[in-house]
Amino acid sequence: MDQMGFYSGGSYESSMNSNVPLGDSISSGNISLSAYRKTNAGAAGKLLENKGFGWLLEVNEEEENQLPLLEELDIDLTDIYYKIRCVLLPLPYFRMKLNIVRESPDFWGPLAIVISYALLSIYGQFSVVSWILTIWCCGGFIVYFIARALGGDVGYTQVLGVIGYCLIPLVVMSLVIPLFSSVPIVAKALGMFGTAWSVYSAGTLLCVDELQTKKPLVIYPVFLLYIYFFSLYSGV
C-alpha cells in the first residue's frame, strides 16, 4: 500500500501469475469451486464426502452436444416428402428423380404409410395391424426374390421401401371412397384406379435397366400384392 492508501499493481500481477487455475477460482477470492460446493453441500453432502462418495455430488459443467430427436432416429422429413411426390407423380412429364426411392431406401417413411393404410383398413381393430405388416414384409420378399431371379440388381430393403411408399395411392383412395359409399360402382372404380396407380408407380420404380425387357414378370406379382392389399380394405 502506498502513502495515498492505494494498493500497487504488483499484487494484482502476482495474483494473475499464481498457480491457481482460472476455472477453479471464484472472483471473490482464491477458494476453489469444489471447496465452495463442499462447504455448501449441507450435512448430507459432508457425510458423503467423509464416506468416500463425494463423486456423487460432482456436476459435469460441460454441455453435451445432443442431436435433435429426428436426426437421432435418422428421419428426414424433406426426403420422405420428395419420395411421396415421386410415387404420386411417376410420369416422366413431372421430371422427378424416381430412382431416389429405390436407391436411397429408408425405414420410417414406408412403415408410417403401411401403418396408416392398416388403420384405415381395419377401423380400429389394432390386432390386424401386425397381419398387414407381415403381408408387407413377406410380399416384398417375394417380389425381391422374383426380381433377383430375373437378374435385377435390387436389394430387399429397396423393394420393401418401394412397396411401402407405393401404398400412398391406396391410402388416398381409402380416404375418398367413403364419400361415395352410396354409389358402389364409383367406389369400386376408385379402388381399382388406386390399385392401378400403385402398381404403375411400383413397376416404374422397381424395374431397373436389367428388368426393362422383363417388366411384365415383375409387375404381375406386384399387381397381385396390391390387389390383396385392396381386398383387405374392401373386405372382398
String of DSSP letters for 83-118 = HHHHHH--SGGG---THHHHHS--SHHHHHHHHHHH
Decide: helix, strand or coil at residue 29: strand
Instruction: State whether 180 and 105 are in the same domain.
Output: yes
Instruction: State whether 161 and 47 are in the same domain.
Output: no
Q: Is the confidence at residue 215, as pLDDT, over 80?
A: yes
Q: Is residue 65 part of a domain?
A: no
**Cα–Cα distances in angstroms (integers) from residue 124 to residues 2, 117, 119, 136, 191, in the given order:** 88, 12, 6, 19, 21
pLDDT tens track for 76-132: 888 888 888 888 888 877 778 888 888 888 888 888 888 888 888 766 566 667 788
Structural domain span for residue 34: 9-54
Q: Which residue has the cell 385392396?
A: 230
Number of domains making up the chain: 2
pLDDT of residue 73: 73
**Cα–Cα distances in angstroms (integers) from residue 131 to residues 10, 43, 92, 188, 191, in the given order:** 82, 60, 35, 24, 21
Instruction: State whether 94 and 175 are in the same domain.
Output: yes
Instruction: State whether 45 and 79 are in the same domain.
Output: no
Greater pLDDT, 50 or 179: 179
